[in-house]
Amino acid sequence: MEPRRYLPDRPFPEYAFLPGQHPHPTRSPEGHSFTEESEAPAEYFAPESWADNDDYLYGVDLYNHGYLWEAHEAWEGLWHQAKHDPHQAQHLQGLIQCTAAALKVRMGQPKGLASLSKLGTGRLEEVAIARGPEFMGLDVFDFIQAFRTFAESSPKDAESRPRIELDVA
């Protein structure tokens, strides 16, 4: 079953970038985002406004649909803007590291999967302990448990990674 799209009108890139196998999205003339105008820096959104944050939601869509490098990029700008908000910054950095961990599966780098998943889920856990089990629409403890199970299973395929389901009641 296809994961839910949170921004169904925003198109996905032509391909999911895999370092060493595809043209770099922004640096190569053949990259899927090479000709795009540089976007304005991400705006800061309070964690409580996550449902109105298109960059956050698009990052979730990208992650859930296998555009792992692109999801990392979507959230990185938000992470930079949130550095004055330690919990939000930790949450975003945790998602970025879990996404990078899943990308390491595709790259055949199990040590990268292990280290990044440990860092990412650790950051997410710190946020959940400090702010409660749900943060920015995510049931953080459920995601942590599922991601740790994924990482510990020595996956051969990143498609078995847990998806991010946001509570958009």
Residue 41 is predicted with a pLDDT of: 73
List 166's β-bridge partners, or say none.
138
Q: Are 54 and 43 in contact (CB under 8 A)?
A: no
The helix-helix angle for 140-152 and 86-106 (nearest 10°) equals 30
Record the pTM.
0.91
Side-chain-facing half-sphere of 136: CA atoms under 13 Å = 28
Residue 75 is predicted with a pLDDT of: 96
Q: Are 96 and 76 in contact (CB under 8 A)?
A: yes
Residue 124 is predicted with a pLDDT of: 98
> Does CATH number 1.10.3450.10 belong to domain 47-160?
yes
Give the Cα-Cα-Cα angle 103, 94, 72 (nearest 5 degrees). 45
Sign of CA dihedral 114, 116, 117, 123: positive
The residue among 74, 110, 102 whose CA lies nearest residue 18 is 102
Domain boundaries, the chain: 47-160
Q: DSSP label at 47?
A: G
Report pLDDT digits (tens) over 18-60: 886 666 656 655 655 656 655 667 889 999 999 999 999 999 9
Q: Are 147 and 161 in contact (CB under 8 A)?
A: yes
Low-confidence stretches of the chain (pLDDT < 50) are none
Rounded Cα distance, 154 and 139, in Å: 24
Tokens for 69, please give them. 């490098």
